[in-house]
Structure 1
C-alpha cells in the first residue's frame, strides 16, 4: 500500500482554510503528501471560459467584474505558493462551489479533501446545510473537516463509528493508510439504545466479522448506550480521547433525512473523516 496521500484543500482565503492547511502540515511530518489548494470562483452557469482562457458572459453579470475577481483570486493563490513553497499546487475553477469542489476532487483522483468549517445549527442547518455537509453527502472522495487549529494533533487513535450489523466490505483504504503512516490504532464503536449487556455478544461478533472481511487487524471494540449516534460519539470522546473520528454516510442527508455524519461535521470540534458506505 502506497503511503502517499493526494490532498485537496478548498480555499476561500479565510481562517478556516488556514486551519485546514495547518492540519495538513501536521500530517506532512510523517506522510508523503501532494497538496493542492483549490479556489472556486462562484459564478452563474451563464459565465464560460473559452479555449484561450477568455471569460464570456451573456450579459447577466459584468464581464469586467468576473475578470477582476479572477485576477484577485490568482494573486491570492500565488501568495499561497510564495508562503508555503512551490511544491504546493494551486487551481482556480468557475461555477457553483460545492459542485466544483466535488468534481475536481473526483476527476483528479484525490485521496482526501480537507476543509475548515464554521459549523451550523438549528433551522439554517436543516434548510441550507454547510458546504462541508453537502460535500460529505455527495463526494465519493473522503472528507476531513475541522473547526479549529489542530496543528499539534498527534494521531494515535482513529475511531470508526459504524452500525456493525452491516458487515459488508467497505473502502477503508484511507483509514488503513493513516494507521500505517502514523502507527495509529483503530477503535470500532457502535452506539445502541439497548442495555449493553443484552447486545454485547452479538455486536462484538459482528465487529469481529467486519474486521475479518475488511482485513483490519489492530483494533479495539467499544459499545456505548446513548440516545443517538451524535450524543454517543461525543460522550465516548469525553471518556476516551480519540484523535480523529471516522464515520460513513449513505449520502442521504437533507431536509427530510437526518444524517449522523453530517450532524457531527457541523457540531463536533474533533477532526472528522466522512466517507461513503458501500
Structure 2
C-alpha cells in the first residue's frame, strides 16, 4: 500500500485551493490538506479579488501609486490588506504540519487567475468548494466552480460538506464508455489507488438511449480490462435521466466520491444541452472529481 501511495504522490505534487472564505471553501481546504498529507503535495491557497472596474497598472503587491486621489485604488489596497488577514486566519484554522502551504492574493477575474495559476504552477489537482445552485441563476450565470470544472487542464475535486477525516472507500465512475478516456482514466486510477478504494463502473441506461444489459456489461468489462483496473464492479443502472441515475446509484452504494470525465462544452451547445458533470457538482452532496477531456 505504501508503494502505491508513493507512486501516486509522484503524480500529485501541487494542489490549488481557490477560496472565497465561505464554509464550503474551508471544507475544500481541509480535504486538500488530507490529500496533501497522503501524497506530500504542496498546497497553494488562492483568493482573487475581482476589481469593480479596470484599473491600469494596479498591482496586488501595492506597487501602484495611490496618492493620486484615486479612491478605488485606496479601497482596493485596504481590501487586499484585510483579505491577507483572512487568508492567515484560514491557514491557522486547520493543523498543517508537514504540508507546505503558501498563500496568494491577487486582483483579477477569478476564472482567469485560476486557469493561469494551473498553467504556471503546473497544478496537479484543484480542490474547490461548491455551494450548488438551481433555477434561473444556475442556467444564466453558473459559478466559478462550474467554469473551472468546464475548462481546467487538471482534475478538479469539488466539495460541499466538511470531512474532518477525508477517506474514500467507494467510488462511482460514471461514463458512456464510448469516448477515449485514457488520460482521465490514468488520473482516476491514481486517485483510487491513493485511498485503496473500490471503483464501481456504472452505465446509466435511459429510455432515450436504451441498450441491452448484456451488451453494456461486456462494454464495461472491456473497458476495465483495457485500462488494467483492479478492485472494481460492473453496473448497469436504469433511470429516466443520466444525472438522476448517477445520483441514485451513488446513494444506493453509499459512495464517497463520484468521478466523471467532462468535455467542457461551452457557448450555445452548453446552454442547450448542459453538462452532466457540472449538474452533478451543483446537485449532489457527494464530492465529485472531474477531468476535462480536450
TM-score, length basis structure 2? 0.84
The SS at the match of 2:201 is strand
Corresponding residue SS for 2:273: coil
May I ask how many residue pairs the two structures share in their alignment?
278
The structure 2 residue matched to 1:178, chosen from 187, 191, 199, is 191
The answer for the alignment partner of 1:269 in structure 2 is 285
Does the CA contact (< 8 Å) of 2:60 and 2:106 recur in 1?
no
Counterpart residue number, 2:227: 214
Q: Deviations over 1:145-196 (max 9, x none)?
A: 1221122443112211100133552332332222222111221111111599
Correspondence 1:31 to 2:47: no
CA contact (8 A) 1:196 1:224 kept: no
SS at match of 1:141: coil
Which structure carries more helix by proportion? Answer: 2
Question: What does the per-residue CA deviation read over 1:199-228, in whole Å, with 9 as the maximum and x for residues that have no partner?
Answer: 222222222332333332332111111111
Query: Structure 2: how far apart are the matches of 1:194 and 1:50?
Result: 55
Alignment of 1:168-247 (within 5 A): 168-194=181-207, 199-247=212-260
- Give matches, 1:109-188, under 5 Å: 109-188=122-201
Cα RMSD after superposing both structures: 2.7
Matches within 5 A, 1:251-270: 251-253=264-266, 254-270=270-286
Matches of 1:209 and 1:56, distance apart in 2: 63
Counterpart among 18, 35, 39 of residue 10 in structure 1: 18
More strand by share: 1
Judged with a 3 Å threshold, the aligned counterparts in structure 2 of structure 1 residues 213 and 46 are, in CA distance, closer, same or farther, namely: farther
User: Could you tell me how far 1:9 is from its partner in structure 2?
Assistant: 0.9
Moved more, 247-256 or 40-49: 40-49
Instruction: State the secondary structure of the residue aligned to 1:13.
Output: coil
Deviation at residue 27 of structure 1 after TM alignment: 3.0
Cα distance, 1:242 vs structure 2: 1.1
Point out the more displaced range, 50-59 or 212-221. 50-59
Residue 82 (structure 2) pairs with residue 69 (structure 1):
no
8 Å contact from structure 1 (residues 155, 243) kept in 2: yes
Correspondence 1:20 to 2:28: yes
Give 1:237 deviation, angstroms.
1.8
